[in-house]
Amino acid sequence: MSQHPALAYLPNSEKGKIVTAAEAVMLIRDGDTVATGGFVGIGFAEEIAIALEELYLANEDDAPYTQGKPRNLTLVYAAGQGDGKHRGLNHFAHEGLVRRVIGGHWGLAPKLQQLAIANQIEAYNLPQGVITHLFRDIAAHRPAHITRVGIGTFVDPRHGGGKLNARTTEDMVELITLRGEECLLYRTFPINIGIIRATTGDPDGNLTMEKEALTLEALAIAMAAHNSGGIVIAQVERVAESGSLNPRQVKIPGVLVDCVVVAKPEHHWQTFGTQYNPAFSSEIKVRTTSLPEMPMSERKIIARRAAFELKANSVVNLGIGMPEGIASVANEERIIDLITLTAEPGVIGGIPASGIDFGAAINTQAVIDQPYQFDFYDGGGLDAAFLGLAQVDRTGNLNVSKFGPKLAGAGGFINISQNAKEVVFVGTFAAGRQRIAVNDGKLAVVEEAKSRKFVDHVEHVTFSGPFAATRGQRVLYVTERCVFALRPDGLELTEVAPGIDIERDILRLMDFKPLIPREPTLMDARIFRDGPMDLRERLLTIPLDQRFALDEQQNLFFINLERYPLRSKADIDAIARIVEARLAPLGRKVYAIVNYDNFSILPELLDDYSAMVRSLVDRFYTGVSRYTTSGFLRIKLGEALEKRGVAPHIFESAEEARTNWQIEAGGANGGTRLAARQG
């Protein structure tokens, strides 16, 4: 690989590699490919971006015949970098300064976005994780990055190949078949200039990141530029003596770095929203009890319903925007310690920050480089992902990346949604201003939003419903008034909020009619009431599918509902489905023993529950022995069963239930074997 032409002109003085921002950007040449690191405002080299913009505009004024230098740059970046106004990549947004942009997310750089919309630059949107991996592949001189990520979405060459306007014609993505499986091939290319950020640098170019909220892809960019024969420019907030940095803390070795720029303090904030928070850099831990609770709103309702999908010991990703509320609910419900929240730039554990601080987190367990985080995500490491819901169609396709002329971009959405074991999309039912009211545990829509989210066909496929369905991925679409689930033949309406009329508040506001094979269940009533929802108890209880066991030898079926909180019609249906799945294939009836110790059920569900029990008794059981130490439950549940014509007696202990089984079923030595099993 030939060297960058400016390498020979790098400063060589007593300062070593330390230069001003103005001196550093003078090294960027016409037609260079420039890679920038950053996530929103974290890790972005604002001082260097400002200097490049000033250089271009100054040259434009001083040399009208050349119309500014440098020109025709190719800009490459993985995550969105900007504040949605003027900072970040908005400094690159000048016609002539950039010719081509290959970005993971466009929404935070509206000025750059306008150049693409106006067809003034070539514009690509590739998945954020793919671009972080491309940096590593470029460093290793691999010819391409091959992955399944993007199949069926707008990045797939069959659906546009990531091109965002008519001016963009060169193919960067190819569809290939590898071992009989469709994959996407993303082409690599040399990086001439790498622009990164750290906390401390020394005259030799060694960099540490002790006060940065994230480490991101800085190392990958530095290696890619260096191995392409290019230049690496690093922004820092301070300089240390040569040889004084702890080598175990050096994140970027000096052999990869050509220039070190000391930024003005106002251009080196920890995020674009926070000048410095030691909790973001893991220097201190924060008391989570000090975090404010969310007020009741559609945002909280959605976050609360989504939180019911959290499971103990699971690894979870929360997207930006609406999904951020799930972290607040998890903290209110005291379940943060039972799950591991992550964010795509490299955060493992803790509580993610929100808004313009998004990407940072407090009380983290670890912060790893962004390319490794996407290795983990792409390989199926996420148990669940909670992502924003913007536009959905009848097949379950979802669009969050392009709306008319507006280019938001996919960011990490494609990587995350395609590879998580379960994905939950969260958002309001319609777009725009709406007003709701919550009274007596019921939801009322006071004013409807004007724009529909549930449409016949999304204009940009950021998530492919059919592709997810073929792989058996569990997908939910959660709104404040209802919940949909992805089925092989489209969206199914599965839950409705109390107080919501299906025809008036849901179906008439959709461009298509979803599947409604049976009466949708009511969303859990606790979601719409103030006070805790007892999610900690729910997460700490044994999973429902692990509460059923069949002893073939004795023809005994054990149902362990100890400490199980039955809170919705969906819970009742789930019990019925599990029993049917276990017993229907047997072709015979069994004797059931049910443990109701510390079992709890909402009073309004007793009738539905007893009806379900009666159905199971008629179809699958030769007899049933039930027991609980709770006298109150014995009375209430017994009364409900008696109304359904089911034997109402509930024993006080497991021993009494076992004795009753021996009497009714005549099981020789059955009590001894059962005692051993239950013991």
pLDDT at 537: 82
Decide: helix, strand or coil at residue 292. Answer: coil
Q: What is the pLDDT of residue 419?
A: 97
- Helix (H) or strand (E) run with residue 252 in it: strand 250-252
Token readout for 160 is 């546009």
What is the predicted pLDDT for the residue at 540? 84
Whether residue 340 contacts residue 349, with contact meaning beta carbons closer than 8 Å, is answered with: yes
For the four alpha carbons of 242, 247, 252 and 256, in that order, the dihedral sign comes to: positive
C-alpha dihedral over 629, 634, 635, 640, to 10 degrees? 160
Determine the Cα–Cα distance for residues 374 and 357; give it in Å rounded to an integer: 20
Number of neighbours of residue 375 by Cβ within 10 angstroms: 16
Q: What is the percent of the chain where pLDDT is above 70?
A: 95
DSSP per-residue codes, 50-69 = HHHHHHHHHHHHH-TTTTSS
The phi and psi torsions of 430 (rounded to 5 degrees) equal -130, 165
Give mean pLDDT, residues 318-346.
92
What interhelical angle do 606-620 and 631-643 show, nearest 10? 70
Quickly state the pLDDT bin for 666 (edges 50, 70, 90).
low
Q: Is 642 helix (H, G, I), strand (E, B) or coil?
A: helix
SS3 state at 98: strand
Burial 399-431 (b: 16+ CB within 10 A, else e): bbbbbeeebbbbbbbbbbbbbbebbbbbbbbbe
Which tens digit of pLDDT belongs to each residue from 586-640?
A: 999 999 999 999 898 988 999 999 999 999 999 999 999 999 988 888 888 888 8
- Token pair of 574 as six digits: 């789930």
Residue 483 CA to residue 496 CA, distance in Å, equals 7
For residue 507, give Cα distances in angstroms to 485, 500, 607: 15, 11, 29
Q: What is the DSSP secondary-structure string of 160-204? A: TTTB-STT--S--EEEEEETTEEEEEEEP---SEEEEE-SEE-TT
**Structure confidence by residue, pLDDT tens digits, 28-85:** 999 999 999 999 999 999 999 999 999 999 865 554 434 458 999 999 999 999 999 9
Listed range (42-51, 363-372, 571-580, 668-677) with the worst mean pLDDT: 668-677
> Is pLDDT above 60 for 492?
yes
Instruction: Give pLDDT tens digits for 180-201.
Output: 999 999 999 999 999 999 999 9
Write out the DSSP string of 602-656.
-GGGHHHHHHHHHHHHHHHEEEEEEE-S-HHHHHHHHHHHHHTTS----BSSHHH
C-alpha–C-alpha distance, residues 234 and 544, integer Å:
53
Q: Are 363 and 351 in contact (CB under 8 A)?
A: yes
Euclidean distance between CA atoms 522 and 501, whole angstroms: 11
Predicted confidence at residue 220, as pLDDT, reads: 98
Q: In order of start, what are the domains of the chain with their CATH numbers?
A: 21-264 (3.40.1080.10), 288-428+455-496+515-528 (3.40.1080.10), 542-678 (3.30.750)
Q: What is the distance between the alpha carbons of residues 591 and 593, in angstroms, rounded to a whole number? A: 7
Contact, 359 vs 42, CB < 8 A? yes
User: Do you find a cis peptide bond into 70, omega within 30 degrees of 0?
Assistant: yes
**Which CA distances in Å does 515 have to 309, 390, 467?**
22, 20, 19
| DSSP one-letter code for 488 | T
> Mind listing the pLDDT tens digit for each residue in 456-467?
999 999 999 999
Distance CA 268, CA 14 (A): 25
> Helix (H, G, I), strand (E, B), or coil: what is residue 669?
coil
Whole-number pLDDT of residue 632: 82
Catalytic residues: 344
Taking the mean position of all CA atoms in its chain, how far away is CA 38? Answer: 19
Closest by CA to 387, choosing from 340, 485, 321, is: 321
DSSP one-letter code for 255: G
Phi first, then psi: give them for residue 499, nearest 5 degrees. Answer: 95, -10
Q: Please choose, from the candidates 121, 247, 260, the residue with its C-alpha nearest in 3D space to the C-alpha of residue 195.
A: 260
pLDDT at residue number 490: 95
| Two tokens, residue 607 | 């009738």
- Spatial separation of the C-alpha atoms in residues 586 and 591, rounded to whole Å: 13
Regarding beta strands 122-125 and 490-496, do their DSSP bridges make them parallel or antiparallel, or are they unpaired? unpaired
Q: What is the pLDDT of residue 668?
A: 40
Comparing CA positions, the residue from 559, 563, 549 lying closest to residue 595 is: 559
The arithmetic mean of pLDDT across residues 554-571, rounded, is: 91
What pLDDT digit, counting tens, does each position of 281-297 carry? Answer: 999 998 876 567 889 99
Question: What does each C-alpha distance from 626 to 300, 622, 648 come to in angstroms?
Answer: 39, 14, 9
Per-residue pLDDT, 14 = 67
* Residue ranges with strand state E in 435-555: 435-439, 442-447, 451-452, 454-455, 474-478, 482-487, 490-496, 521-522, 548-551
How are strands ordered across the β-sheet holding 621-627?
A: 548-551, 556-560, 590-595, 621-627
Mean pLDDT, residues 541-557: 91
CA distance readout (Å), 42 to 135, 358, 361, 549, 672: 19, 9, 11, 51, 65
Token code pair at residue 424: 């939950």
CA distance 146 to 133: 10
C-alpha 100/C-alpha 444 separation (Å) is 49
Q: What is the CA radius of gyration of the chain?
A: 29
On whether the CB atoms of residues 252 and 222 are closer than 8 A, the answer is yes
Residue 355 CB-half CA count within 13 A: 4
Percentage of the residues of the chain whose pLDDT score is greater than 90 = 79
Type of residue found at 500: I
